[in-house]
Structure 1
Amino acid sequence: MPAETHGVISLLPALFAIVLTLASRQVLLSLFTGIWIGATILVGWNPIGGAAYSLQLVINNVTESFNSKLLLFTFLSGAMLGMIFLSGGMNALAQRIIARIKTRKQAALGTSVLGMLIFVDSYASTMITGSVMRPITDKFDISREKLAYLLDSTTSPVVSVAVVSTWVGFEVGLIREQFASLGIDQSAFVVFLQSIPFRFYSLLAVALVFILVVMDWDFGPMQRAERRAKEEGKVLGDDADPLIETREEDIVTPDYVDSRWWYFAAPIVTLVAVTGFGLLYSGGWPGQVPVEALKDAATADAILWGVFSACALLLAILVGHARVELEAVSDAIFEGFKMVMFPVAVLSLAWTIGSVSEALGVGPFVVSVAQGVITPELLPAVVFLAAAIISFSIGTSWGTMGIMFPVAVPLAYQLGAPLPGAIGAILTGSLFGDHCSPISDTTVLSSMFAGADHVDHVNTQIPYAVLCGAVATGLFLASGYGVGSLALLGIGVVALFALAYYLSQHADVSVPNVFGSSSD
């Protein structure tokens, strides 16, 4: 076992925090307890020293450049939402959409399609889709848990395979780095494209969304949540504590404001356009071709420029067109900040416990265990599961990719295993673990912009993610023995359909959540 890992103990902080979070529903306390346990181990099992080191670790993670920019993005998102609520633009647009959406199924399909269409960035897609569709799904009594699941499963999975997104540059860059170190004379971007059919989990996660929505199926905790919403009109459980509060009485549109649908649409279009331009510009465009520019893009800067531009436009609309007083605008911005305070705290602690797990060597430990059972045939499945475990433990897809690429790609090359399959297993396994982890930033943001209780979102999503992950594992096993990826995808979709039918029609909905739920 590599010297840089603490062995199986490296799993303890994250697992303790996750189990305590799901069991007690006290997210912040649970996360900090996990951080303290990990810090105590790192300082030589001194609990007092561990407490002091825990605080320093939080400071280190909050002040890290990318993280601080994402926190500022979150605060500005809150300010933007506050001003949107003040303008009444979201309600005006929602009324126009509601006039065309007649059923729950159409509302769910609209959410899923919108989440896929905004494929430039997963954070922006989650924020926009959740903000637009939340009042609409509420209108049709779709549970907030279901909305959070739709956001989580149609944003990151799509963005991760899109050829123009904030993810593609990072992924291609990792591939290119390994090819350079191994002396492989292949195009990193071409291999990236070749890996897409092997992203079994990502593609199946999107397929399951549409299977469940079109067939009106649900199972497990989600089935209970949807029955509660349909039969009782409760989009949230009785004891739910949504990550973001969006009560209408917090921010009231002045009576004299004639709300227009474009009060909401114009800032959102600005957000997407400036983010897209920022990605290209920060990567060196027009001096570089778009693909190369995306590889070098400053993702955090681009989304920050986008949301700031949207806020500036909203301010101009409110003051210049809607004639709202600056005091009312300032109050709305402050209320928006209050909406995102809890998610900011969760993100800060989630990043910290992820860094603690990395410092303890969870990645090398999982990889060392996996290497003991790897053969060329088993490599895709083992890499997929190893990436999922690491991602679940540290709560970040990108961090997992950074851990797995320097180990799995050289190993696949030495064993003679197909590189697109191994690379696809890393990229989609990272997403699988991320979807199951309550300390994942994308999971937190999905809960936030759906206005859902975070623990309820995790409880209801895990069965769906595990179903896709189990089918994907079987497909990776078959791919290791030479079965074509496209044929396997077809088999996987059929298997997913059959299993979803069985679980929705025959699973006992009365079985309680393993970790408890606000709707129990």
Structure 2
Amino acid sequence: MEAAWLSIVPFLVVIPIAIFTKQVLPALFLGLLVGSYIMEPSIIGGMTTMFTYVVEAVIDPGNIKIIVFLYAFSGLVGMIKMTGGIRGFVEKASEKIQTRKQALLLTYVSTIGTFVAPTFRFVTIAPIMRALLKKVKMTTEELGFVIETTATPIIVLIPVATAFVGYMVSIIQIAAGNQGVELDPYSLFIQSIPFNFFSIVTIVLGVYLSFFHHSKDKSKAPTKLDDHVEEEEDWHNCHPAVGKELPIKPMNLLLPLIMVIVLTLFLTWWSGYEKGYGFPEAFIKAEVMEAMVIALLFTVVLSMILYLGQRFKLSNLIEGFIIGGNELMSVILLLSVVWGLSSITDDLGFSEFVTAHSGWIPQMFIAPLIFVFGAAVSYFIGSAWGTWGILMPLGISLALAGDVSLPLVIGAVFASGSFGAFASPLSDDTNTIAKILNLKVIDYAKYKLKPALIAAGITTVLYTIVTFII
């Protein structure tokens, strides 16, 4: 296509506007709008084109599964909060944890049951650590850093039952599909996990800071153990999910999580088994996204029955589910725009343009450049999901054009977004943990920027080295 260069115009709109406004969704929408008018340069035609692309993306069967998964997952978390599952876990754990070692071990071990989303991790672990802060003997900033290393960096590496996995698989699916890659997107996601070097390096730094580094500074954060702390500074007020008005029922958290994990594994195996495959191959050949959605729907129904048996009102459970689900509506809207934008740029010849004009980039630099560029973008926009949506089409196009491992480059894209979620003062992670631990957002972001940059430097070197090896 002679005008294939026009396919990069939407991205030239999206990236600077996202960085300038610190808002991803409006930037993606404007990029979609610009692409639509390039496709159909008339007042009504451009708007109609945009509408058509978004509708076609939303009604795609695979995309519908992802929308249902995201909404139902967030709705389940809403019911868990409302029924006192999170508060119950926090209360029971804080009663038994008395030493620094116990508290830090709990932070890591509890990942097994609270890995569904970063905010979920924060509201279950941070209040416990805040209540025990003086016994933990860490500065509040160090504590926040350690908690954050057990959130997004770990969650992006988990292939089932998280709020991230559906979105991440979808981003790979649309970008790879537009390039004509016939590999299963979930399989690509699994293969990319070992190459998310930033997350892996950050986890290692967190373990070091937890168990091998002892700060000489004394924390000045208000804690439950301080007799002079005023009532309004009680950790129960740090987040609505641990508020005093909620019941104390830890099993309302643990049972649904156990159900969704067990059912996901079973239905994934069953999906492959029905096709005639044996035990190991059944997981590889399964319809994983469908299995995850069905497992989640079963869990929602069974959890609702569990809560009704505890005499929670059906109307309150439905309200909690809807409120929880609606918290991800902005993400679902974001996905819809990303789907439409990806389709438009593909039809404009984006892959052909990248193939024709990326030959000057040495193969060894493709993965590290994608990571560094993506890390800069994610830092300034504060959104891992937005960064992934913007950069995945570019990353996969460059990987195919430069004959670089797809899992490696996909891992680099995910790593770049993880950097922004971890280090940016604009990210939800930074702001949530700062609020719970009573830290100033900018000061806390400055504190963790240095170790984040060290991890990013190590990550860049690793991508350069690994490119030679694989």
So what's the TM-score if we normalise by structure 1?
0.60
Distance in 2 between the 1:197 and 1:77 partners? 25
Partner of 1:303: 292
1:285-319: CA deviation from partner (whole Å, max 9, x where unpaired): 68324543333332322222232222112211121
Partner of 2:240: 247
Please, which of 253, 256, 263 is the counterpart of residue 267 of structure 1? 256
1:141-200: CA deviation from partner (whole Å, max 9, x where unpaired): 87898556642211223549xxxx9999x99xx99xx9x99xxxxxxx9xx98x987664
Residues 159 and 355 of structure 1: CA distance in aligned 2, closer, same or farther (over 3 Å): same
Q: Following TM superposition, by how much is the alpha carbon of 1:359 offset from its aligned partner in structure 2, in angstroms?
A: 5.0
Amino acid at match of 1:92: G
Alignment partner of 1:468 is 2:468: no
Distance in 2 between the 1:296 and 1:449 partners? 39
Partner of 2:20: 20
Alignment of 1:121-520 (within 5 A): 124=116, 129=121, 132-133=124-125, 135-136=127-128, 139=131, 150-157=150-157, 159=159, 200-214=197-211, 231=221, 247=240, 253=246, 259-284=248-273, 287-320=276-309, 322-356=310-344, 358-359=346-347, 365-366=353-354, 368-374=356-362, 379-386=363-370, 395=389, 403=397, 406-408=400-402, 411=403, 422=405, 425-436=408-419, 467-478=454-465
Please, which of 66, 78, 92 is the counterpart of residue 62 of structure 2? 66
SS at 1:91's partner residue? helix
Q: Following TM superposition, by how much is the alpha carbon of 1:266 offset from its aligned partner in structure 2, in angstroms?
A: 0.8
Distance in 2 between the 1:105 and 1:2 partners? 63
Residues 248 and 43 of structure 1: CA distance in aligned 2, closer, same or farther (over 3 Å): same
Residues 107 and 282 of structure 1: CA distance in aligned 2, closer, same or farther (over 3 Å): farther
Amino acid at match of 1:311: V
Q: Following TM superposition, by how much is the alpha carbon of 1:12 offset from its aligned partner in structure 2, in angstroms?
A: 0.9
Question: Any gaps of 5 or more consecutive residues in structure 1?
Answer: 182-188, 219-226, 234-244, 413-421, 486-520
Does the 8 Å contact 1:61/1:352 carry over to 2?
Answer: yes
Alignment of 1:20-99 (within 5 A): 20-22=20-22, 26-44=23-41, 49-99=45-95
Deviates more, 1:428-437 or 1:86-95: 428-437
Q: Following TM superposition, by how much is the alpha carbon of 1:249 offset from its aligned partner in structure 2, in angstroms?
A: 10
Residues 281 and 446 of structure 1: CA distance in aligned 2, closer, same or farther (over 3 Å): farther
Does the 8 Å contact 2:419/2:456 carry over to 1?
Answer: no
Does the 8 Å contact 2:36/2:344 carry over to 1?
Answer: yes
Distance in 2 between the 1:137 and 1:99 partners? 12
1:96-145: CA deviation from partner (whole Å, max 9, x where unpaired): 22234447886566445544x579xx8x4658645643654565687898
Distance in 1 between the 2:120 and 2:306 partners? 19
Question: Any gaps of 5 or more consecutive residues in structure 2?
Answer: 134-139, 224-237, 378-386
Does the 8 Å contact 1:14/1:34 carry over to 2?
Answer: yes
Amino acid at match of 2:409: I
Residues 268 and 462 of structure 1: CA distance in aligned 2, closer, same or farther (over 3 Å): same
Distance in 1 between the 2:457 and 2:427 partners? 24
Percent of aligned pairs sharing the same letter? 19
Residues 406 and 96 of structure 1: CA distance in aligned 2, closer, same or farther (over 3 Å): same
Distance in 2 between the 1:72 and 1:196 partners? 24
Does the 8 Å contact 1:38/1:356 carry over to 2?
Answer: yes
Q: Following TM superposition, by how much is the alpha carbon of 1:69 offset from its aligned partner in structure 2, in angstroms?
A: 2.1
Residues 216 and 18 of structure 1: CA distance in aligned 2, closer, same or farther (over 3 Å): farther
Partner of 2:232: none
Q: Following TM superposition, by how much is the alpha carbon of 1:76 offset from its aligned partner in structure 2, in angstroms?
A: 1.6
SS at 1:474's partner residue? helix
Distance in 1 between the 2:71 and 2:412 partners? 30
- How large is the Cα RMSD of the aligned pairs? 5.1
SS at 1:283's partner residue? helix
Q: Following TM superposition, by how much is the alpha carbon of 1:343 offset from its aligned partner in structure 2, in angstroms?
A: 3.8
Q: Following TM superposition, by how much is the alpha carbon of 1:380 offset from its aligned partner in structure 2, in angstroms?
A: 3.4
SS at 1:84's partner residue? helix
Distance in 1 between the 2:417 and 2:51 partners? 25
Residues 303 and 159 of structure 1: CA distance in aligned 2, closer, same or farther (over 3 Å): closer
Does the 8 Å contact 2:154/2:199 carry over to 1?
Answer: no
Distance in 1 between the 2:117 and 2:56 partners? 28
Partner of 2:227: none
Distance in 2 between the 1:447 and 1:58 partners? 32
Alignment of 1:5-16 (within 5 A): 5-6=5-6, 9=9, 11-16=11-16
Distance in 1 between the 2:149 and 2:337 partners? 22
Q: Following TM superposition, by how much is the alpha carbon of 1:270 offset from its aligned partner in structure 2, in angstroms?
A: 0.1
1:481-512: CA deviation from partner (whole Å, max 9, x where unpaired): 77xx9xxxxxxxxxxxxxxxxxxxxxxxxxxx
